[in-house]
Amino acid sequence: MPEGHSIRRLADLHVAHFTGAPLKITSPQGRFENEAAAINGREMTGASTHGKHLFLHFEGSIVHVHLGLYGWFRLYDSATDAKTSVRLRLDNGLRASDLSGPTVCKLIDSDDMIEIIERLGPDPLHSSAMPDIAWAKIKKSKKTIAELLMDQSVIAGIGNIYRAEILFFAKQYPYTKGCDISRDAFDTMWTAAVVFLRAGARYGTVNTVAVSDMTPGEIDTLGPQTQMMYVYGQAGTYCRICKTTTLVSTVAGRKLYWCPRCQS
Ligand SMILES: [Zn+2]
């Protein structure tokens, strides 16, 4: 599932390509047909995000999108016919954005949007985010920090990749209960979330590894598109930091990658 940084990039992409002109708005698949007809010909005035939720703003209405596990957007030339599976097509006469397979694609108003956002935790990508709200939920919870980091009502936007990397960065044992997490440890995790998600939103790739932890060969090939992580997806290999310990993965809803030595 795309994490918050990918959704932010989609918002920026739609602002760059589709604001400022009336759009032809259709639903080739038909499941969004009436809603598309209701806003067809309007201008998109902006796009915003909260965690994994995308809001495309039109005059008087908002299209709420959650991609879920299978949703995606693709950009095409307007001349390219949409596939019949496309739920929503935005077309400015030059480019078209096709949305397929979302969990949510709904026409809402600003009150609905506020309700959705109020159910979510603070989003580390927002400069106005209030980490104290997340901290209050974590410190009174008996769930593990590994579960809590994935809970969108605690912090919005973190998925499986960033969960693993944030816990590793904070040297945090994943099975510590929320109520046993120290404020310092939370602050470290929040800071990591802010830094990692912002870098991901900027470059469109996940690179959480500090240059000081890279090999000379890795530094030689380092670029804006480098994808490099400490633990995610690396079960059974040697930890970059402590060398001797094999990384293990345990299922906690989804696979959890961590180093039992660094994060003990
Ligand atoms: Zn280690």
Residue 253: band (very low, low, confident or very high) from pLDDT cuts 50, 70, 90? low
Closest CA to 66 of 136, 31, 116: 116
Catalytic residues: 2-3, 52, 254
Extract the tokens encoding 198. 């912002």
Q: Which residue in the block uniquely carries the two structure tokens 């005059």? A: 59
Task: Give mean pLDDT, residues 1-11.
Answer: 93
Q: Mean of the per-residue pLDDT values for the chain?
A: 94
Distance CA 165, CA 141 (A): 22
Angle of helix 183-203 versus helix 160-169 axis, rounded to 10: 130
Interval 36-50: pLDDT, tens: 999 999 999 999 999
Interval 237-249: pLDDT, tens: 889 999 867 777 7
Interval 135-154: pLDDT, tens: 999 999 999 999 999 999 99
Q: What is the DSSP letter of 22?
A: B
| This prediction's pTM | 0.94
Q: What is the pLDDT of residue 154?
A: 98
Q: Which residue in the block uniquely carries the two structure tokens 């990384």? A: 247
Task: Give mean pLDDT, residues 26-42.
Answer: 97
Distance between Cα 174 and ligand 1 center (Å): 13
Q: Report whether pLDDT(250) > 70.
A: no
Q: Which residues surround ligand 1, an ion (CB under 5 A)?
A: 239, 241-242, 259, 261-262
Beta-bridged to residue 108, according to DSSP, are 62
Distance between Cα 88 and ligand 1 center (Å): 45
Distance between Cα 180 and ligand 1 center (Å): 22
Residue 198: band (very low, low, confident or very high) from pLDDT cuts 50, 70, 90? very high
Distance between Cα 166 and ligand 1 center (Å): 14
Distance between Cα 196 and ligand 1 center (Å): 19
